[in-house]
Amino acid sequence: MWLINTHNGIKEKGILPVNIEEFPAIKAHLDSFGDKLKKRTDKGNTPYNLRNCAYMEDFSKQKIVWAELARTGNAFVLDSSKFMVGNTAYILTTPKGREQDLMYLLGILNSRIILYYMNLICSRLDETGWRWLRQFVEILPIPQINSANAIREVVAKITLENQKEMSEEINKHVASLYGLTPEEIDFISEQLGTF
């Protein structure tokens, strides 16, 4: 139910490390693992502190989250609830003032074209499993944001009831951004089949 984040602070931003003495109950619990804590190689200033994390603040931002392994094809979601993720998931944030770009990116990343491209550049787990490693997601060819409003508007309207219909609408907009012909769109759809 809880994540104990005894972070090591961020010196460049003036954020001080968590002082475990201010949390006696947590300190008492951690003290029961004293020998293991002292032997940790990834500790911060004290055995109680976590090692430095340059992107710690990004968890508090609105962000796109995706799991490394997905059975559903594209599995990118928008998080506005400040969730933290473990080591089998990734986050994507934007600079301050560009948060609206996340809706555009969410539409692109969940499109049929991106799924097709991922099939070309990385290996699959099996017929219904994708491995969305960060190094592949980073090199996906994302069109410049210009006529993004249409995609943002469609993404914002997605509900559980209209998800399939809205996904097709997004796929049409994304295909036009990439300049695909109807034949190319049909080819991609045939290659992916149903999943």
Which candidate, 42, 78, 75, 81, places its Cα nearest to that of 59? 81
Q: List, edge to edge, every strand of the sheet that includes 76-79.
A: 76-79, 63-67, 89-92
Distance CA 165, CA 188 (A): 18
With beta carbons less than 8 A apart as the criterion, state whether 45 and 17 touch.
yes
Distance CA 131, CA 120 (A): 12
pLDDT for 83-100, tens place per residue? 888 888 999 999 888 888
Per-residue pLDDT, 71: 86
With beta carbons less than 8 A apart as the criterion, state whether 50 and 84 touch.
no
The tokens for 61 are 């931002």
* Residue ranges of the chain with per-residue pLDDT less than 50: 195
**For the whole model, what pTM was predicted?**
0.76
- One-character DSSP codes across the chain: ---------BGGGTBPPP-GGG-HHHHHHHHTTHHHHHH-SSB-SSTTSBPP-TTGGGGGS-EEEEESEESSS--EEEE-S-----TTEEEE---TT-TTHHHHHHHHHTSHHHHHHHHHHS--SBTTBEE--HHHHTT--PPPSSSHHHHHHHHHT--TTTHHHHHHHHHHHHHHHTT--HHHHHHHHHHH---
Distance CA 188, CA 195 (A): 13
The tokens for 185 are 């769109």
What spatial distance separates the first Cα and last Cα of the chain, rounded to whole Å?
33
